[in-house]
Structures are given as C-alpha cells and as structure tokens.
C-alpha cells in the first residue's frame, strides 16, 4: 500500500468585487487572488496500489484537478458566506469546511482511496481529517537546550564510538521544534490558548535554555536523546490537555531528524 500527497495552494478573496483572479502560478497560489486574502494550503493524501503499467498510484495532475474543482469552490463559498454574515472563520468553522471537502472528495479517486486532508492554517498549525472521519489539531512550539549523550557504564572509548561528537564533555545544543497533535472532544469549546499554555508551562518552559543532562532530574539516569525527549513530552502532557486527547508528539532536533511518539498503543 502506497500513500501519495499533493499540496494545492489557492487564495480566496473574501470580498470578490473585482471577480476571481485565477492567475497562472499554481506553485504560488491558484486562484491567485487580487491582494491580501485567505491563503489556503491543502494537503490531499490518496492511498492505493501502484499501477504496473505507469508506475503511478495516481497521476498527480488528477489529484490536483479534482481537489481544486471541489475544494476551491467550497472554501470560496463558505468563507464569503461567513464574512457576509459578519462571522469569523474560527477553528470550528474551518473544521466544517474541511469536513465538507472530505465529503465532496471522498469518492473521487476510485479505485484509490482518499486517506486524509490536511489544512495548514499557517506554517505552524494544521487541521487534519482522516479516513475514520477523525479531526485532529496540530501546533508547533520550540525550545533551545544543550545536552550530552553519555553512558556511565561505557568506557570513554565506547561512549565516543556510540555517540560520536554528541559525547563532547561540554555538551552541544539544538533548537528543538515540538509538534503536539490532539483530538478535541468538542471543537466549539476547544480552548486553543489553554492548550498552548499547558504545553508551554508543563513542558517547553521546563526544558528551554537548560542543559538537559545536568539541570533536569528526568535525565540523570536517562540519555536526553530526541527519542527519550519525545516520550518525556508525551508522558508529561498525555492527561493534561483540557478538552482534548493527546494523539502524537513529534520533535525535530534539526531540520533533518525528528522522532514521533504515539504512546505505547500507537
């Protein structure tokens, strides 16, 4: 089974007095919009088997065309309607729009299957709907910390063999990026600011600008690898998010390496 994702980018003018501006650059945004408006990034993921005669799961152009035909019209209609009624496009209403897109696209790729739709609300938060109609909220945070990878049961030579430069006695630093994904129980009542506060107070602030190997009791007998930091984050937040269930933690220690943890049952 393969999964293939196409990102479509488009803009919605909330006040379409000048008509829609299609433009010619779908890499940037198509429709392009006339000025400052709603910029939408939608990741469309399709799953299925690769066709032996083409090597394709599905032609990306087909995903692009069908997703644009359905999603662009839904977003335009719903956003303009909300603005005309003096309503904001909040998370709950964004979920409703995404769910409508899911319904419109769900049977569009037969024999392949639509497996998820993911709207990037901005580069640091997103909403995802998947095959079981589950809606998830993800948001990124960051902290800076130093650590040293070392095992007292190893010889110095063994430590450097296992951990290389990461065994430097003075330690080394990372700018970590943390993505927390949760399933709100009720999107209408989901308090995103309480969510942010809990993540910051319970986890980010405890590690930010710290020497993890020296300053945190959690790592006195545990190597502060990105794997262990990810589990640490999960254990800290798993039952602390008000009105939401923690679904996954993903931590980048740089732009080339990250670890994802979904609990013991994940």
Q: Which of 9-23, 66-80, 162-176 has the lowest mean pLDDT?
A: 9-23
Which 3 state secondary structure label does DSSP give 88? coil
Tokens describing residue 4:
């293939």
Catalytic residue among 62, 166, 183, 259: 166
What CATH code is assigned to 2-133? 3.30.479.10
Going by pLDDT thresholds of 50, 70 and 90, the confidence category of residue 34 is confident
Q: Which of 74-88, 138-152, 157-171 has the lowest mean pLDDT?
A: 157-171
Going by pLDDT thresholds of 50, 70 and 90, the confidence category of residue 265 is confident
Which residues lie across from 5 on neighbouring strands? 45
pLDDT tens readout for residues 137-154: 999 999 999 999 999 889
**CA separation for the pair 244, 183 (Å, rounded):** 5
Q: Is 166 a catalytic residue?
A: yes
Going by pLDDT thresholds of 50, 70 and 90, the confidence category of residue 170 is confident
**CA separation for the pair 44, 64 (Å, rounded):** 9
Residue intervals of the chain classified under CATH 3.30.479.10 are 2-133, 137-261
Pairing of strands 135-147, 210-211: parallel
Catalytic residue among 142, 156, 209, 227: 209
Contact 165, 136 (CB under 8 A): no
**DSSP one-letter code for 71:** I
**CA separation for the pair 20, 39 (Å, rounded):** 14
What CATH code is assigned to 137-261? 3.30.479.10
């Amino acid at each position: 089974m393969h999964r293939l994702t196409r990102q479509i980018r488009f803009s919605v003018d909330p006040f379409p007095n000048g008509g829609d501006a299609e433009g010619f650059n779908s890499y940037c945004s198509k429709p392009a919009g006339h000025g400052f408006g709603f910029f939408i990034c939608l990741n469309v993921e399709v799953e299925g088997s690769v066709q032996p005669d083409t090597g394709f799961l599905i032609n990306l152009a087909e995903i692009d065309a069908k997703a644009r035909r359905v999603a662009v019209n839904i977003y335009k209609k719903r956003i303009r309607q909300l603005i005309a009624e003096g309503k904001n496009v909040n998370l709950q209403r964004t979920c409703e729009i995404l769910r409508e897109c899911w319904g419109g696209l769900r049977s569009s790729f037969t024999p392949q299957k639509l497996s998820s739709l993911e709207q990037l609300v901005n580069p640091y938060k997103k909403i995802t709907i998947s095959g079981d109609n589950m809606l998830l909220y993800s948001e990124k945070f960051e902290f800076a910390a130093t650590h040293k990878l070392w095992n007292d049961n190893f010889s110095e030579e063994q430590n450097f063999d296992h951990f290389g430069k990461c065994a430097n006695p003075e330690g080394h630093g990372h700018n970590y990026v943390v993505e927390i994904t949760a399933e709100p129980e009720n999107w209408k009542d989901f308090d995103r600011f309480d969510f942010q506060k809990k993540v910051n107070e319970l986890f980010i602030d405890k590690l930010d600008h710290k020497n993890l190997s020296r300053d945190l009791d959690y790592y006195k007998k545990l190597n502060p690898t990105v794997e262990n930091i990810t589990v640490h984050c999960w254990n800290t937040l798993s039952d602390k998010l008000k009105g939401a269930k923690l679904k996954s933690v993903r931590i980048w220690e740089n732009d080339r390496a990250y670890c994802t943890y979904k609990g013991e049952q994940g």
